[in-house]
Chain A
Amino acid sequence: MIRHTIGMVFIGLGIAFDFLGVLGLIRLPDVYNRLQAATKCVTFGSAGLLFGVFILQGFTSFGFKVLLAVAFIFLTSPIAAHAIARAAHRSRIPLCPESVVDLYEADHELNKEGDDAVA
């Protein structure tokens, strides 16, 4: 009974994080802001949801598959988010007009000048 309660609390928290992340994906003004909100919230939310399902199921084959899915999400989702952000910045998608500083662009320009100086 206590296991059922803990599992349902984890599942509810995961659904809430999912919903908030998707709300950020709708409302935020920029590609990078949307990527930050959506990736962090939805990854953590889905991982919490799957952990709740694992607590409800226990150590069956279903539970082990759920644990495998949690490990896989934690390993792969930041890599995909990093690749998408890098590709968006390299393909000159503009930042939102309220943004203050773009250190990645400055760093990129600096590295390019350094390469030219060496060559």
Chain B
Amino acid sequence: MRVARWLAGAAVLAALAYLNFFVFRAPILVKLINVSLFSALFVLYRVIRGPSAADRIIAVDILGVLSIGILALLGLHHDQGFFMDIALIWALLSFVASLAFAKILEGRRLDD
């Protein structure tokens, strides 16, 4: 069963490589942004299929930090500064949201 899964994955990767799926001509910054977006896809897997609520809270927190990096790279690529404004506000809101989710998970009230 495990061997069959490995063979299926290798076949899919070989088909994608044969169809030039991995050839992507762009500046290096765009490739790095793509790697970050792929990481965000992994984090979304953990958000959807977390076994417990704490997993989902951790994943949302990490998604906030990742998106700060993605926004900084986008601002560097487009050479415009307002992306970092969005990133700063995102960082503030993500921090407050994580603390609030943690308090609710612990079973305390928000003004405790």
> In the complex, A9→B59 CA distance in Å?
27
Pick from B3-11, B15-23, B83-91 the stretch touching chain A. B83-91
Q: Indicate which residue in A8, A22, A39, A61 contacts B28 across the interface (CB closer than 8 Å).
A: A8
Residue of A nearest to B39 (CB): A22
Contacts of B61 on A, CB cut-off 8 Å?
A: 39, 77, 80-81, 84
> In the complex, A8→B62 CA distance in Å?
23
> In the complex, A42→B83 CA distance in Å?
20
Interface bin, chain A: 35 or more
> In the complex, A93→B95 CA distance in Å?
22
Contacts of B66 on A, CB cut-off 8 Å?
A: 18, 22, 42, 46
Interface residues of A in 1-55 (CB under 8 A from B): 8, 11-12, 14-15, 18-19, 21-23, 25-26, 31, 34-35, 38-39, 42-43, 45-46, 49-50, 53
> In the complex, A91→B54 CA distance in Å?
9
Residue of B nearest to A31 (CB): B54
Is A88's CB under 8 angstroms from B105's CB? Answer: yes
Contacts of B30 on A, CB cut-off 8 Å?
A: none
Contacts of A35 on B, CB cut-off 8 Å?
A: 54, 58
Residue of A nearest to B83 (CB): A62
Is B42's CB under 8 angstroms from A23's CB? Answer: yes
Contacts of A88 on B, CB cut-off 8 Å?
A: 52, 54, 105
**Among all A-B residue pairs, the 6 with the closest Cβ atoms:** A65-B84, A88-B54, A87-B106, A83-B102, A80-B98, A62-B81
Q: Give 11 pairs: A residue, B residue, CB < 8 Å, sorted on A.
A: A14-B69, A25-B43, A31-B52, A31-B55, A42-B65, A43-B65, A46-B69, A69-B84, A79-B95, A83-B98, A84-B57
